[in-house]
């Protein structure tokens, strides 16, 4: 493969004797890695090798056809680059947390953050200004079914203007030139230009400035990209955070030796994942903590806006510390812990939808909090499963108005009485 000249020159200078191995790795197909859902997927792939920096990261021996796997449709795992799973190491230990993922779509890191929050550990705002990508985000978070999130679509500058110092964790997984994705999508290398790196860098500085404003005293700012360009990584962070007495760099003390640690101007630590050294695609990660305030302010009293006034639980056998509220035709849910951390004034948002037009929505079938024994359940044959995925009717004599469709032990949706079962369209992985 011929890499763009300016890229090759920069990487050669940076990697020295490792440049050959880096080039060879970029020309090889990537490994397939997944992250298991903490409840729905905990027993899956016991034979797969682990990802050392994430307890539920797994390296698969070969790439399955995910679109035909019941476990994938059930949200029992998320197909994610191993390198991206490292974001977890910079989360604070205390709970509950109010977290914002500013560039969240399609949801890989948001699902990881939800694992860490669970049902009692706080609220995640999963934000992305791109409406098309946000549709994929909504689908992936609904499939993951840990209802501690709200999806929003604001520019980070809007957040910064309205919610100064409001978040314990701010993740900026910034839009970037994507050099680390070339072996997954080789055509990206052919459209790469140095000007694009500069354009991305300028945009990232603007986003970083907003991200920084959002962090509460004592909170963490986690910055990541999937590019090797220093202009988009350490140079940006040096410029914004260096010599600011409000911030301390965070260090990944026991990082695996294959992950390259750098120090940059201003005292920060950055972590590069190169494909010739680690599993996973190219990635950069760095984190800082804002100086804690001498005493924690009492949280402002919060009255739920009409859009989030609690309503009665829909008639589903659901267990767990959940709050339900009406959004138009839909009853959605949020954990009590997340509900307590809501911010005033967020009106345009989407939570996990549970109930719509007198019946459970697709996402409800995938909730671990749904107590299966009380529900009529229909195990689908292989043929019925493929029919279901093709959105063709599955003919079954249902005893109730609806029943949970299960394949190979994994709940994958509903069968409704009196009309064909049409699950939501599925994304391919
Ligand atoms: N965090 C995601 C994950 O783990 O699945 C991947 C995020 S991707 C690297 C970058 C995202 O930045 C895209 O979804 C894109 O829509 C979003 N983005 C583009 N412009 C943005 C902006 N001005 N502010 C915030 N996010 C933006």
pLDDT 10s digits, 155-195 = 999 999 999 999 999 999 999 999 999 988 888 888 899 99
Confidence band, pLDDT 50/70/90 cuts, at residue 19: very high
Task: Give the DSSP letter string of 98-130.
Answer: EEEETT-TT-HHHHHHHHHHTTTSEEEEEE-S-
Take atom 1 of ligand 1 and give the residue whose Cα is closest.
104
For the chain, how long is the longest CA-to-CA vector? Answer: 69
Number of other CB atoms surrounding residue 384 within 10 Å: 20
Number of other CB atoms surrounding residue 375 within 10 Å: 17
Catalytic residue among 142, 171, 226, 250: 226
Confidence band, pLDDT 50/70/90 cuts, at residue 127: very high
Q: Which residues contact 400 (CB under 8 A, 6 or more apart)?
A: 376, 417
In this prediction, residue 303 carries a pLDDT of 61
Q: At what angle do helices 5-15 and 19-26 cross, to 10 degrees?
A: 130
The answer to whether 421 touches 105, Cβ cutoff 8 Å, is: no
Pairing of strands 247-249, 352-356: unpaired
Q: What percent of the chain has pLDDT over 70?
A: 94
The model's pTM: 0.95
pLDDT over 80 at 424, yes or no: no
Query: What are 24-83's pLDDT values in tens digits?
Result: 999 898 999 999 999 999 999 999 999 999 999 999 999 999 999 999 999 999 999 999
Averaged confidence pLDDT in the chain: 92
Query: What are 181-237's pLDDT values in tens digits?
Result: 998 888 888 889 999 999 999 999 999 999 999 999 999 999 999 999 999 999 999
Query: What are 334-346's pLDDT values in tens digits?
Result: 999 999 999 888 8
Pocket test of ligand 1: the residue of 128, 139, 209, 232 to mutate, having most ligand atoms within 8 Å of its CB, is: 128
Q: How far, in Å, CA of 152 to CA of 137, rounded? A: 10
In this prediction, residue 151 carries a pLDDT of 97
User: Catalytic residue at 226?
Assistant: yes
Residues with CB under 6 Å of ligand 1 are 84, 102-109, 128-130, 133, 155-156, 173, 175, 207
């Amino acid at each position: 493969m011929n890499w763009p000249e300016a890229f090759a020159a920069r990487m050669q200078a940076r990697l020295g004797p490792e440049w050959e191995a880096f080039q060879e790795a970029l020309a090889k197909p990537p490994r397939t890695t997944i992250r298991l859902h903490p409840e729905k997927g905990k027993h899956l792939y016991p034979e797969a090798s682990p990802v050392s920096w994430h307890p539920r990261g797994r390296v698969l021996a070969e790439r399955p056809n995910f679109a035909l796997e019941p476990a994938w449709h059930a949200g029992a795992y998320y197909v994610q680059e191993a390198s991206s799973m490292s974001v977890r190491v910079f989360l604070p230990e205390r709970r509950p947390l109010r977290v914002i993922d500013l560039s969240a779509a399609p949801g890989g890191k948001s699902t990881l953050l939800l694992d860490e929050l669970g049902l009692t550990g706080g609220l995640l705002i999963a934000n992305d200004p791109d409406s098309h990508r946000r549709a994929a985000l909504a689908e992936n978070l609904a499939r993951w079914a840990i209802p501690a999130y709200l999806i929003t679509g604001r520019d980070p500058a809007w957040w910064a203007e309205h919610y100064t110092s409001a978040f314990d964790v701010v993740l900026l997984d910034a839009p970037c030139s994507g050099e680390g994705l070339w072996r997954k999508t080789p055509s990206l290398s052919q459209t790469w230009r140095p000007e694009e790196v500069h354009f991305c860098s300028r945009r990232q500085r603007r986003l970083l400035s907003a991200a920084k404003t959002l962090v509460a005293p004592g909170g963490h700012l986690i910055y990541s990209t999937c590019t090797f360009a220093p202009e988009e990584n350490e140079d940006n962070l040096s410029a914004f955070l260096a010599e600011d007495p409000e911030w301390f760099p965070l260090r990944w003390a026991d990082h695996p030796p294959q992950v390259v640690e750098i120090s940059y101007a201003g005292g920060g630590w950055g972590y590069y994942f190169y494909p010739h050294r680690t599993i996973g695609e190219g990635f950069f990660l760095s984190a800082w903590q804002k100086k804690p305030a001498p005493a924690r302010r009492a949280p402002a009293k919060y009255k739920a806006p009409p859009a989030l006034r609690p309503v009665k639980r829909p008639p589903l056998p659901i267990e767990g510390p959940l709050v339900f509220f009406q959004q138009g035709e839909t009853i959605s849910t949020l954990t009590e812990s997340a509900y307590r951390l809501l911010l005033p004034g967020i009106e345009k948002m989407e939570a996990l939808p549970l109930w719509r037009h007198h019946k459970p929505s697709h996402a409800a079938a995938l909730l671990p909090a749904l107590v299966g024994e009380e529900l009529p359940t229909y195990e689908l044959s292989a043929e019925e499963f493929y029919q279901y995925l093709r959105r063709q009717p599955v003919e079954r004599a249902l005893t109730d108005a609806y029943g949970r469709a299960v394949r190979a032990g994994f709940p994958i949706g509903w069968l409704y009485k009196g009309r064909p079962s049409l699950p939501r369209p599925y994304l391919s992985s």
